[in-house]
């Protein structure tokens, strides 16, 4: 137990194991900035990294180095490389030297404000009542690994109209309204575009029972709210949602030890094989520690393997004492990432990084000691428990969780942001309307929106009118190795601008899985002959498979159809226009099957199809009845001498009536789907103790227009049949059609007030009852007498009986 507590202390309070200077920041200088990297230049690009975490007390500020995320040091190097590349390129800003100023947010709001002020102004020390009147030549600020840091920076940079670039945080549209939108540029698509990619990924592999892991932030709460709604609409369930805190305090050791054990138990759920992870990169540390602590308790090696679906904010990192652990737990993970492509000379630039390569780099010493587990010689404290750093250590020897030689997506965003600023400045300086003052930052915004260029990696860079970098996301597969390193392999692409349903392109064969392609279902699918039966108190993805009862499918309609096909050449079948009879029977068969769409879990496709399918199928059925009635009436009138109606009696008229009437209904449905289509919706008003997932009809007036047109067809059929009911013929269908239309109209007239007076699932039950009742009325009234004669009175099914007059 003591070992476990020590590990918790080390992970969440890593000041016990981190290297760095401990210093007292007294009230005369309460916001000391211990780390910075400044390179002078005519114009300055500022950057806010999140490399180091400090812990601050209340009265005397203890600047104790708590944690160093060595992998994030590449963010600072990416900016330094971009500036160096621009200064060497005589085609960009030929007469201006570009400099930079890199500071750290220290994962603290007060320090973020303090260091942002350092980016904007020349002040390097805290002076009471100091008036910030003199600005540096700061042309842009890059940074904001999280939403809180971005907002804190924007409060200052936005006030001075300084362009701010979020290097990796996928900002939501609602959050972008919170900050200075006219000064904020985003280097990745909106976060909401990731949701559709995750849904398409789950659908592609048919993972319908998943787990969700988020951090305890407003972003995590928003992610769960949006994702849960999308999961329900697409018939996917979340087995659990677990929130993970970002930081900890000394008083919470027991609580967090229990949390880690709880995490492991949840993740080993045998039915959940797909886990969605959202949050900051430190979430990876939490998950990895949960596995490590369980292995210590059980004295065994963890055997469970899950597929992790990771959002773009998360990078695969390990910190502090975790460096020797590796990330085999995440083998086969599928990550939505910001696209990246190495500039040609970036690797050579990294290989030149040594402890003495740049005296102005205030981050290098802390990074080097932490990454290589060594210490530099210090005359003030000559004794050290670690080996001395030789300076010959190489970055390429570090495992990927500590440092990557390939440019990460976050670093690539920083690199593109610097080049975007440089190209905008170059265009502004080359323009005749540039003016003499280059530091009018509000002028720079118009040039930033209009730039379009190819970077050194050959990729196009430009912004949309909403200040978002054009492009999408890459889908990467994580492949781990025995030396604790890993490699990302591109297996797909997410393009938010693609047509619906085609946003995700995926090469499933290229994915490396933990073992095999996992199955993530609450239970196995029901075999043919079985139907789903919901389990009380559980989500809709969990069900029992019960045998289908007899007659579950509309066997009666199929039986009548088979009878007519078997007696296809008998006088009775031929006299009643067998082509229309078959069409009517097929449409009635579909009418009986259409309620299955109403019984399914409401989804995007189900809601779009069920009402139009029901309306068009019933319109075809009623159109067939109208055609049969019209033919009967015209046939007797055409027998009169000199009648011109003989040319109209035949199959052509029947087909024209059926096709025309059905096409009008199809046109109404198309108009409905184009203007206000039905969609899945959550109803929290109908039932007080539950939220009902239902289909919102989109446009209620268009829904009743469709019903009204169907009623118009039925009324026309009833009128024509009623007028032709006394025409002489033993096989005259008019009187049967009259009764069938009477039943049909009665059902749907009573449907309207009943439908309007019910809510929730009762409205679905009312519509299903009306569909089945009206279809049964048509089937029974029209075809029951014919089946009676064909099966029980075959002597009446002859030509003599056909020609007999009443």
How far apart (Å, rounded) are the C-alpha atoms in residues 33 and 459? Answer: 37
Q: What domains can be seen in the chain, in order of their start residue?
A: 193-340+473-510 (3.40.50.2300), 553-803 (1.20.1070)
Closest-CA residue to 337 (of 313, 356, 359): 313
How far apart (Å, rounded) are the C-alpha atoms in residues 506 and 476? Answer: 10
Of the ranges 68-72, 106-110, 146-150, 673-677, which one carries the lowest mean pLDDT score? 146-150
Residues 6+ apart with CB under 8 A from 156: 113, 116, 117, 120
- Are the C-beta atoms of residues 363 and 73 closer than 8 Å to each other? yes
DSSP 746-778: HHHHHHHHHHHT--THHHHHHHHHHHHHHHHHH
How buried is residue 261: exposed, middle or buried, by Cβ count under 10 Å (0-12/13-18/19+)?
middle
DSSP annotation of 399: -
Q: What confidence tier does 2 reach under pLDDT thresholds 50, 70, 90?
A: very low
DSSP annotation of 796: G
What average pLDDT is seen over the chain?
Answer: 78
Token pair for 385: 């428990």
Q: What's the pLDDT score for residue 521?
A: 85
Q: What is the CA radius of gyration of the chain?
A: 36
Q: What confidence tier does 23 reach under pLDDT thresholds 50, 70, 90?
A: very low
User: Can you say how many angstroms the Cα of residue 89 is from the centroid of all Cα atoms in its chain?
Assistant: 41
Token pair for 74: 């590449």
Percent of the chain with pLDDT over 90: 18
> 0.85 exceeded by the pTM?
no
Of the ranges 100-109, 123-132, 216-225, which one carries the lowest mean pLDDT score? 123-132
Q: What confidence tier does 489 reach under pLDDT thresholds 50, 70, 90?
A: very high
Closest-CA residue to 709 (of 672, 662, 649): 662
Of 292 and 175, more confident: 292
> Which residues does residue 695 pair with via DSSP β-bridges, in sequence order?
680
Q: What confidence tier does 1 reach under pLDDT thresholds 50, 70, 90?
A: very low
Of 415 and 574, more confident: 415
Q: What's the pLDDT score for residue 453?
A: 93
How far apart (Å, rounded) are the C-alpha atoms in residues 400 and 409? Answer: 14
Percentages (nearest 5) of helix, strand, coil residues in the chain: 45, 15, 35
Residue 460, phi then psi, degrees to nearest 5: -75, 140
- Are the C-beta atoms of residues 612 and 673 closer than 8 Å to each other? yes
The yes-or-no verdict on residue 47 having pLDDT over 70 is yes
Which residue stretches of 357-494 are H helix?
Answer: 364-372, 409-430, 441-450
How far apart (Å, rounded) are the C-alpha atoms in residues 688 and 104? Answer: 49
Q: What's the pLDDT score for residue 645?
A: 52
The yes-or-no verdict on residue 609 having pLDDT over 80 is yes
DSSP annotation of 678: -
Q: What's the pLDDT score for residue 573?
A: 56
User: Can you say how many angstroms the Cα of residue 575 is from the centroid of all Cα atoms in its chain?
Assistant: 58
> Burial code of 546-577, b = ≥16 C-beta within 10 A, e = fewer?
eeeeeeeebebbeebbebbeebeebbbbebbb
Q: What is the pLDDT of residues 709-732, one digit of tens each?
A: 988 988 888 888 777 666 555 445
Q: Alpha carbon of 801 to those of 83, 575, 794, 796, 806: distances in Å?
A: 100, 11, 11, 6, 11
Q: What is the pLDDT of residues 491-505, one digit of tens each?
A: 999 998 888 888 899
Mean pLDDT of 211-217: 84
> Which residues does residue 506 pair with via DSSP β-bridges, in sequence order?
492
Q: What is the pLDDT of residues 644-671, one digit of tens each?
A: 555 555 567 777 888 888 899 999 999 9
Q: What is the pLDDT of residues 257-289, one digit of tens each?
A: 677 667 777 767 667 889 998 887 777 777 777
> Burial code of 745-754, b = ≥16 C-beta within 10 A, e = fewer?
bebbeebeee
Q: What's the pLDDT score for residue 407?
A: 93
Write out the H or E segment, with its range, that includes residue 453. strand 452-454
Q: What confidence tier does 125 reach under pLDDT thresholds 50, 70, 90?
A: very low
The yes-or-no verdict on residue 421 having pLDDT over 80 is yes
Residue owning tokens 């007028």: 723
Q: What's the pLDDT score for residue 418?
A: 95
Of 255 and 21, more confident: 255
């Amino acid at each position: 137990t003591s070992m476990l507590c020590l590990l918790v202390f080390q992970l969440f309070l890593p000041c016990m194991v981190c290297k760095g200077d401990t210093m007292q920041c007294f009230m005369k200088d309460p916001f000391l900035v211990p780390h910075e990297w400044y390179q002078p230049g005519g114009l300055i690009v500022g950057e806010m990294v999140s490399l180091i975490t400090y812990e601050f007390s209340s009265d005397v500020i203890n600047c104790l180095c708590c944690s160093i995320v060595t992998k994030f040091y590449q963010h600072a190097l990416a900016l330094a490389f971009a500036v160096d590349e621009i200064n060497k390129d005589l085609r960009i800003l030929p007469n201006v030297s570009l400099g930079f100023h890199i500071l750290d947010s220290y994962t603290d709001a007060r320090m973020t404000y303090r260091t942002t002020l350092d980016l904007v102004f020349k002040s390097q020390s805290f002076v009471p009542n100091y008036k910030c009147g003199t600005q540096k030549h700061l042309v842009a600020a890059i940074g904001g690994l999280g939403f809180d840091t971005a907002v804190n920076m924007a409060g200052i940079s936005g006030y001075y109209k300084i362009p701010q670039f979020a290097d990796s945080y996928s900002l939501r549209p609602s959050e972008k309204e919170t900050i200075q939108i006219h000064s904020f540029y985003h280097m990745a698509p909106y976060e909401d575009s990731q949701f559709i990619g995750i849904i398409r990924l789950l659908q592609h592999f048919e993972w319908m029972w998943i787990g969700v892991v988020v951090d305890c932030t407003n972003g995590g709460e928003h992610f769960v709210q949006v994702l849960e709604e999308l999961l329900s609409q697409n018939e996917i369930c979340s087995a659990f949602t677990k929130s993970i805190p970002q930081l900890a305090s000394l008083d919470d050791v027991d609580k967090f030890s229990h949390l880690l054990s709880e995490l492991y138990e949840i993740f080993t759920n045998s039915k959940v094989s797909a886990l969605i992870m959202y949050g900051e990169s430190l979430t990876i540390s939490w998950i990895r520690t949960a596995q490590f602590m369980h292995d210590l308790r059980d004295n065994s090696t963890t055997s469970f393997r899950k597929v992790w679906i990771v959002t773009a904010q998360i990078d695969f990192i390990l910190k502090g004492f975790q460096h020797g652990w590796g990330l085999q737990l995440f083998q086969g993970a599928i990550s939505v990432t910001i696209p990246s492509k190495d500039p040609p000379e970036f690797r050579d630039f990294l290989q030149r990084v040594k402890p003495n390569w740049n005296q102005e780099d205030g981050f290098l010493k802390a990074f080097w000691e932490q990454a290589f587990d060594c210490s530099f010689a210090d005359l003030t404290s000559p004794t050290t428990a670690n080996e001395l750093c030789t300076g010959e250590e190489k970055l390429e020897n570090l495992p990927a969780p500590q440092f990557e030689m390939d440019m990460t997506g976050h670093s690539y965003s920083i690199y593109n942001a610097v080049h975007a600023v440089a190209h905008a400045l170059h265009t502004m300086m080359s323009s005749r309307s540039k003016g003499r003052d280059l530091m009018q930052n509000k002028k720079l915004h118009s040039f930033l929106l209009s730039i379009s260029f190819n970077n050194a990696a050959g990729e196009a860079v430009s912004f949309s009118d909403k200040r978002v970098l054009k492009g999408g996301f890459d889908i990467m597969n994580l492949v781990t190795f025995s030396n604790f390193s890993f490699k990302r392999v591109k297996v797909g692409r997410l393009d938010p601008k693609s047509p619906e349903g085609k946003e995700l392109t995926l090469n499933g064969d290229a994915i490396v899985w933990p073992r095999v392609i996992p199955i993530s279902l609450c239970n196995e699918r029901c075999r043919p002959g079985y139907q789903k039966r919901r389990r009380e108190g559980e989500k809709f993805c969990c069900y029992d498979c019960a045998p289908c009862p007899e007659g579950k499918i509309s066997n009666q309609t199929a039986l009548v159809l088979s009878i007519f096909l078997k007696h296809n050449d008998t006088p009775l079948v031929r006299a009643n226009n067998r082509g229309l009879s078959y069409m009517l029977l097929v449409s009635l068969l579909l009418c009986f099957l259409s309620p299955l769409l109403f019984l399914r879990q409401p989804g995007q496709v189900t809601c779009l199809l069920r009402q139009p399918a029901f309306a068009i199928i019933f319109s075809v059925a009623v159109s067939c009845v109208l055609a049969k009635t019209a033919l009967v009436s015209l046939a007797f009138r055409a027998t009169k001498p000199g009648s011109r109606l003989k040319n109209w009696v035949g199959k052509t008229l029947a087909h024209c009536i059926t096709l025309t009437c059905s096409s009008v209904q199809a046109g109404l449905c198309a108009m409905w789907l184009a203007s206000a289509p039905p969609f899945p919706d959550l109803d929290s008003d109908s039932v007080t103790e539950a939220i009902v997932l239902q289909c919102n009809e989109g446009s209620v007036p268009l829904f009743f227009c469709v019903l009204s047109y169907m009623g118009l067809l039925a009324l026309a059929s009833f009128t024509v049949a009623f007028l032709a009911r006394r025409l002489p013929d033993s096989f005259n269908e008019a009187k049967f059609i009259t009764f069938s239309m009477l039943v049909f109209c009665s059902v749907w007239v009573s449907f309207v007030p009943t439908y309007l007076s019910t809510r929730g699932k009762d409205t679905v039950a009312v519509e299903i009852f009306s569909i089945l009742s009206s279809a049964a009325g048509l089937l029974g009234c029209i075809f029951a007498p014919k089946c009676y004669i064909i099966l029980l009175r075959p002597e009446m099914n002859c030509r003599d009986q056909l020609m007999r007059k009443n």
